[in-house]
Amino acid sequence: MNSHEKSITYQKECEKKKVASRKLSVFRTCLLVILMLITGAVQSAPDWRYYYKKGLIEYNEHLYEFALENLNKALEKKPDLYDAANIIAHIHMQKGDRFTAEKYLLQSLSINEMQEDIHYQLGVLYDYTGQYDKALSHFLRAVEIDPSHRAARFNLIKQYWARGDSANAEKHFAICYRIGKPDGLKLYREGLQREEQKNDREALALYQRALTKCPVLIEAHFRIAEIHRRSGNITASIHSLEEIKKIRPDNDKAYIYIAHLLFTRVKAKNRSAILQRAIGNLHRAIEINPRNSEPYFLLSEIYLFIGKREKAVEYNRKGAALEESEQ
């Protein structure tokens, strides 16, 4: 059997396994419902518990349409069942129906307002749809209920920086770092060890885990960007650096690194736009730290590349002057 035939055979086996897994999920759901009937859990007029349990089983088995039907029935029979409303909202989010998801999340909070994760989810939803005042309100409420809510803190940092409120951004950054530092640094150091062992795959996973514990661990964002750069995934690398700019817009190194990466993409079709973006990042880096010679020299290279020799000479001279002053 040649390699092509082996590949086809393997694909067929995978498809068979997927079908078998789906059939098993349906079988399990049916079996559990039958057992509920046999044990008397379901009477002639099923109450909310029956529909909720059935919907929960279907949700866990990813049978979302069936789950929606039964969870809605449970919510109709018990209007204060906010857990059902939360699951229904999550299913609609999975389907991309944010309008309906919002409806059920708000319904859930109208029943039990003390749900920090639901406030956080609404904050994310409103941030995505550009309703920033509502997003800020829900992120703030999430940390009022649970001051250790890292994800809400992380989003508050971005919200306040976007509003130009550096004082509140710094405040939430410090709290987020203090909360997540012990667990985040431990995972980050493990990631460094894996990198030293040339195991980028495990290092990347550890850095990503570190960010779940401490989302403002700037070093982890930089290491993730570097691993993506080494693998040739420049887009992912730039994305990681852009995340730094959202929580530390005063970090000149992130702007310079992005400019370097953009300059490596000069063969792209939209070369002019990419280079202008690189130039913009470098000018921002100079605004943040005018004593760093690196952005001046890179600007000189870019201007020389695009044929603006006078500007190239100007920035080269400025960079050289800064280097001389530091000696």
d(CA 44, CA 74): 16
pTM as predicted: 0.78
Instruction: Report the b/e string of 256-275 with b at 16+ CB within 10 A.
Output: bbbbbbbbebeeeeeeeebb
The pLDDT assigned to 324 comes to 87
The pLDDT assigned to 293 comes to 95
What tokens were used for 90?
């999550």
The pLDDT assigned to 16 comes to 57
The pLDDT assigned to 65 comes to 93
The pLDDT assigned to 29 comes to 54
Torsion 156-161-163-169 (CA) sign = positive
What tokens were used for 41?
């859990």
Contact criterion met (CB below 8 Å) for 315 and 300: yes
- Domains of the chain, each with CATH number or no CATH: 250-327 (1.25.40.10)
End-to-end CA distance of the chain: 68
The pLDDT assigned to 264 comes to 86
Tell me, what amino acid is at 63? L
d(CA 323, CA 236): 32
d(CA 311, CA 10): 58
The pLDDT assigned to 6 comes to 42
d(CA 168, CA 157): 7
Burial class for 207, CB neighbours closer than 10 Å (0-12, 13-18, 19+):
buried
> Is residue 129 classed as helix, strand or coil in its secondary structure?
coil
Q: Would you give per-residue pLDDT tens digits along the chain (327 residues)?
A: 544 444 445 455 555 555 455 555 555 555 555 555 544 444 456 789 999 999 999 999 999 999 999 999 999 999 999 999 999 999 999 999 999 999 999 999 999 999 999 999 999 999 999 999 999 999 999 999 999 999 999 999 999 999 999 999 999 999 999 999 999 999 999 999 999 999 999 999 999 999 999 999 999 999 999 999 999 999 999 999 999 999 999 999 999 999 999 998 766 677 888 999 999 999 999 999 999 999 999 999 999 999 999 999 999 999 999 988 876
d(CA 264, CA 279): 13
What tokens were used for 117?
């994760």
Q: Alpha helices of the chain — where are they, by DSSP H?
A: 3-38, 48-60, 64-77, 82-94, 98-111, 116-128, 132-145, 150-162, 166-196, 200-213, 218-231, 234-247, 252-263, 271-288, 294-305, 309-326
The pLDDT assigned to 326 comes to 78
112: left (phi over 0), alpha (psi -120 to 50) or beta: beta
Instruction: Report the b/e string of 124-154 with b at 16+ CB within 10 A.
Output: bbbbeeebeebbbebbbbbbebbeebbbbbb
Closest CA relative to residue 92, chosen from 106, 108, 105, 79: 105
d(CA 188, CA 221): 10
d(CA 79, CA 48): 10
